[in-house]
Amino acid sequence: MDSWIDHWTSHGDIVEVDSPTITPEQVLVASGHVNEFNDLMVECGACTSAFRADHLVEGRHENPDSLSPDEVMVLLSQGVECPTCKQSKWSDVRAMNLMFRTQIGAMGGGRTAYMRPETAQGMFMLYPALFRHFKQKLPFGAIQTGKGYRNEISPRQGMIRLREFNMAELEYFIDPEDPPCPDLSAWDEPVTLVPDPDGEYAGERPMTFSEALSAGIVRHPTVAWFLARTMDFLTSVGIDPLRVRFRQHAGSEMAHYADDCWDCELLGEHGWVECVGIANRTCHDLLSHEQHSGSKLLRAWRQFDEPRSEARDVLAPNGASLGPAFKDRAGDVMEALQNLTE
Ligand SMILES: [Zn+2]
């Protein structure tokens, strides 16, 4: 963990932060976790064991993770046996949220909260402080290590899938119109890439990061740089480069807001296992938190080279006139006027 922290903080524009593990519900509504952070589960009608439905149909579909409840049900009904009792009597497949729910404060005044499912949301909450810390200039980033919690339906695979586990995450904020584009020529050793299975480069191929970026396989220069620096970290802690590969998500596997997404997989006793995920999440997170919270601090501002003065016509509702005219609806009218665009 110390090596990982040193590796990233040595960049100079990345700092370490520490945020609470108990997260208010509103934050996780904005992040999409309350509505979308689900696994499909199914119960055995004979012995009541619960399973992740997509795990039961592995081998019957190449990407069970992407299936709808109905699609999984169809596969299950083709004779999939319960791993516990070997019967084949399945309940309906349904989505189960993976977060541990709790309450902040006591009794009726308590507010719903969750144990954090990832550390990343803490970095978005701290964005205004980070922006000030970095003198209001992009790019900058933050890392956080600590416990994450996921109420897995059926943990298995030993240490790989736990309900309480240590995470290490990094969020890097860039200007999308001026993305950092580091020189990749220093990484001249080819690495194993497994590009998008639906794209023209499908299949496993050795390539340098620079070649993959020029060919348009890696879709963003900053993503290419993070792939390269992740490879540096893995080799620096003694991982055999031949047991490392970077697998790109297919369009259907990728979250709707992500533009490019790679899993770094390591070959071990459980086969190829995802150990690192690297995604270009665009401005999805900050935008969503801004929309839900109304905060205006989740942005960055570009400076003009020269100061400018501009005259603008603005609509400024006059409360002294609106109040008597609209009485208790004056607030609504004021808001509607303020929301008018040109
Ligand atoms: Zn059973």
Distance 89 CA to ligand 1 centre (A): 8
Q: How far is the CA of 51 from the centre of ligand 1 (A)?
A: 10
Give the span between the Cα atoms of 156 and 158, in whole angstroms: 5
Q: How far is the CA of 12 from the centre of ligand 1 (A)?
A: 54
pLDDT of residue 324: 87
How far is the centre of ligand 1, averaged over its atoms, from the C-alpha of 69 (Å)?
Answer: 19
Confidence at 252, pLDDT banded by 50, 70, 90: confident
Ligand 1 centre and the CA of 200: distance in Å? 43
Question: Cβ of 232: how many Cβ atoms within 10 Å?
Answer: 13
- pLDDT at residue number 246: 98
What radius of gyration do the chain's Cα atoms show?
24
Please tell me whether the peptide bond between 139 and the residue prior to it is cis, using omega within 30 degrees of 0: yes
pLDDT above 80: residue 154: no
- Report how far ligand 1's centroid is from the alpha carbon of 35 (Å): 29
333 CA from centroid of ligand 1 (Å): 60
Q: How far is the CA of 63 from the centre of ligand 1 (A)?
A: 24
Q: What percent of the chain has pLDDT over 90?
A: 73
In angstroms, the CA 164 to CA 185 distance is 40
- pLDDT tier at 103, thresholds 50, 70, 90: very high
Q: How confident is the model at residue 156 (pLDDT cuts 50, 70, 90)?
A: low
Q: What is the H or E stretch that residue 233 is in?
A: helix 221-236
Q: What pLDDT score was predicted for residue 342? A: 60
pLDDT in tens, 131-144: 999 999 999 999 99
Mean pLDDT, range 278-292, rounded to an integer: 95
- CA 54–ligand 1 middle distance (angstroms): 16
Q: Which long-range contacts (CB under 8 A, 24 or more apart) does 219-222 make?
A: 219/259, 219/260, 219/280, 220/179, 220/259, 220/260, 220/280, 221/179, 221/180, 221/181, 221/182, 222/139, 222/172, 222/174, 222/179, 222/180, 222/181, 222/280
How much is the average pLDDT of 114-143?
Answer: 96
pLDDT band at 320 (very low <50, low <70, confident <90, very high): confident
Q: For residue 157, is pLDDT > 70? A: no
Q: CA nearest 264: which of 291, 218, 227, 216?
A: 227
Across the chain, mean pLDDT equals 91
If we measure between CA atoms, which residue out of 105, 90, 101 comes closest to residue 50?
90
Q: What is the 87 CA–ligand 1 centroid distance (Å)? A: 6
Token reading at 133: 């810390």
pLDDT mean over 277-306 = 93
Which domains, from first to last, does the chain contain? Answer: 1-37+98-176 (3.30.930.10), 39-97 (3.30.40.230), 184-282 (no CATH), 313-342 (no CATH)
CA torsion angle for 197, 203, 206, 210 (degrees, to 10)? -30
Measured in Å, residue 53 CA sits from the centre of ligand 1 at: 13
Give per-residue pLDDT as tens, 42-54. 999 999 999 999 9
> What is the token pair recorded at 70?
């109905």
pLDDT digits (tens, 9 = 90+) for 215-247: 999 999 999 999 999 999 999 999 999 999 999
Q: Please report the ipTM that was assigned to this predicted complex.
A: 0.97
21 has pLDDT over 70: yes
Ligand 1 centroid to Cα of residue 80, in Å, is 11
- Please count the helices (runs of H) and the strands (runs of E) in the chain: 12, 14
Segment 70-83, tens digit of pLDDT: 999 999 999 899 99
Ligand 1 centroid to residue 273 C-alpha, Å: 28
DSSP track, 238-271: T--GGGEEEEEPPTTTS-TT-SEEEEEEEEETTE
Q: How far is the CA of 86 from the centre of ligand 1 (A)?
A: 6
Which residue blocks in 105-179 are alpha helix, DSSP H? Answer: 120-125, 127-133
Q: What is the mean pLDDT of residues 326-334?
A: 86
For residue 240, the CA-to-ligand 1 centroid distance in Å is: 41
Strand order in the sheet with 38-43: 50-52, 38-43, 94-97
The dihedral over CA atoms of 247, 72, 68, 36, expressed in degrees to the nearest 10, equals -70
Determine the pLDDT at residue 259: 86
Contact in structure between 260 and 219 (CB atoms under 8 Å): yes
105, pLDDT greater than 80: yes
The residue type of 275 is C
Amino acid at 63: N
Residue range 286-310: average pLDDT? 93
pLDDT score at 322: 84
CA distance 49 to 42: 9
Q: Which of 180-184, 209-213, 303-307 holds the top average pLDDT?
A: 209-213
